Amino acid sequence: MSQLALAWDLPQTHFTVSSFTDRLTGLLLDEFPDVWIAGECSGVKQAPSGHWYFTLKDDGAQLRCACFRQNAMRLRVKPTEGMAILARGHVEIYAARGEYQLIVEAIEPQGLGALQAAFELLKKKLKAEGLFEAARKRPLPDHPRRIGIVTSPSGAVIQDMLNVLSRRAPGLHIRLYPAQVQGEFAVEQIVRGVEHFSKSGWADVVIVGRGGGSLEDLWAFNEEAVARAIAECAVPVVSAVGHETDFTIADFVADLRAPTPSAAAELVTQHVIQWPKRLESAESHLIRAMQLRLSRASDRLGRQGIARAQLLVRLRMNRLSQRLDDLESRLRRGDLRLKLQEAKERELRLAARLEHAMRLRLNRARPRVERMDSSLRQLSPLAVLERGYAIVLADGKAVRAAPATGTDLEVRVAGGPFRAVTY
C-alpha cells in the first residue's frame, strides 16, 4: 500500500537532464548576454584546434572560461597564467559536464575597471532611451555624391579612406572636418564636426572614426555628448572606430558600424561602384535591341517589296487569263485554227513582255529598298555617335539644357563613356 501511494505521489510533469540544462542555458543567455568579469587566469591551455581554455578565479570563487578560435584570433591580449584580466562574453552551460562557463569574446588587462563600468552604465542608459533600436537606423544612400569625414587630418586613417574612395568612386566630393580623436579637446571637436555636417546639409553621409588603440585611446567615442550628436545628426552616420574587435558607444548609436575606417569607405560606395556596370549593361541591352529592330525592319521592307511585285504579277496574270478566255471565245466563233495560232503567238509575246516588265519592276524596286535600309541604319543612335555626336547624362538622364556649375556628368561617345564636371 505504501509503495502504491508513493508512485501515485510522483509529479505528473518533469524535466529530463537535457531539457533542464537547455532551459537553464536559455535563462543564462537572457540574463547575461554580454558581461565583463574580472579575475585571475589559472590553468591556461591552448588546444590544437586554436581554442583557449582557462579558469578565472578570485579569493571566493572560480569560473571556467572558453575562448573559441574565431574569437581567440582577434584577441589583442592573450591569457597567461596569473594574469589579472577583464573578460567579456556570455554565460552558457557546457551540458556534457554540467558546468556553467563564460564564452570569452574579448580580454582587457585589469586596471580599466572604472572606464568599463562607465561604459556599461552609459550603454544601459542610452539603450533604455531607444538610441540603439534598429528601427531608428537609416539606410545609407545608394549613390552619395558628397561624403563628410570627421577624423584627425594626420595619420594613416584619413589617407586610407581617401585612397579607397578615390579608387572605388572617383569624382565624389569629400570634405574633412579636422578633429582630435583622443585627448582633452577630442569630444568637443568630434561633436562640432558631426553638428557641422548635420546643420549645413552638405553631406549625403558622414563617417566618424579613428584607428585602433587602447580603451583609453578610444574613450572619446564612448562619451555621451558624441553619442547624442551622432543620434541627432540629420544625415546617416557611419561609425568606424578602431579595429574589428573594438566596440564603442558610437558604434551602437550610429546608423551603421564599420569594422575599420577603410571598410567604412567601402560601405558608403558599395552601390556607387556598381553604377557603371549597370550603365554598361543597359548600353549593351540597348545596342542589341536596336540591332534587332533594324534587322526586323530590313526584313520587313524586303518582304514588302517582294510581296508587292508578286501582287502586280498576279494582277497581270489574272488580266491575261481573262483576255485568253475572251480570245478563246472569239476563236470558237471564227476560224479556230487561224485564230488559235494568232492567239498563241500573241500569248508568247505577252509572256515575254510580262517577264521583261517583272524584271524591270524588281530592278527598279531594289534601289529603293536599299535606300530605305540605309536610312534606317543612319537613324540608329549608334550611327549618330559614330558621326561625332555625344549623349550627355546627369544622374542617369539626358541633359537638354545647360546644367549648373559643379554638376557631375557622364558623356557617351562612339568610343565609350567618360566623366566630366561643369565649370
- Residue ranges of alpha helices (H) inside 206-335 are 224-232, 249-253, 261-268, 275-333
pLDDT of residue 411: 86
Task: Name the helix (H) or strand (E) containing 398.
Answer: strand 397-398
Across the range 301-307, mean pLDDT stands at 67
pLDDT of residue 208: 97
Q: Which three cell numbers stand for residue 243?
A: 579595429
Cβ 225 vs Cβ 191: under 8 Å = yes
pLDDT of residue 4: 47
Across the range 312-316, mean pLDDT stands at 74
Across the range 188-194, mean pLDDT stands at 96
pLDDT of residue 21: 85
pLDDT digits (tens, 9 = 90+) for 93-104: 988 888 999 999
pLDDT of residue 339: 66
What residue has cell string 540597348?
286
Which residue would you say has higher pLDDT here, 33 or 273?
A: 33
Taking all residues of the chain, what is their mean pLDDT, rounded to a whole number?
Answer: 83
pLDDT digits (tens, 9 = 90+) for 340-398: 677 778 878 888 888 888 888 888 888 887 888 777 777 777 677 777 888 888 888 88
pLDDT of residue 127: 93
Which residue would you say has higher pLDDT here, 98 or 203?
A: 203
pLDDT digits (tens, 9 = 90+) for 58-67: 989 999 999 9
pLDDT of residue 53: 95
pLDDT of residue 241: 92
- Please list the residues that pair with 109 across neighbouring strands: 85
Which residue would you say has higher pLDDT here, 311 or 259?
A: 259
3-state secondary structure of 189: helix
pLDDT of residue 113: 59
pLDDT of residue 369: 77
Q: Quick check: 418 pLDDT over 50?
A: yes
What residue has cell string 572636418?
177
Q: In angstroms, how far is CA 51 from the centroid of its own chain?
A: 35
Cβ 102 vs Cβ 94: under 8 Å = no
pLDDT digits (tens, 9 = 90+) for 1-32: 444 445 455 566 778 898 888 888 888 888 88
From the number of C-beta atoms within 10 Å of its C-beta (0-12, 13-18, 19+), residue 41 rates as: buried
Task: Name the helix (H) or strand (E) containing 111.
Answer: none
Cα dihedral 230/239/115/100 (nearest 10): 120
pLDDT of residue 273: 60
> What is the pTM (predicted TM-score) of this model?
0.45
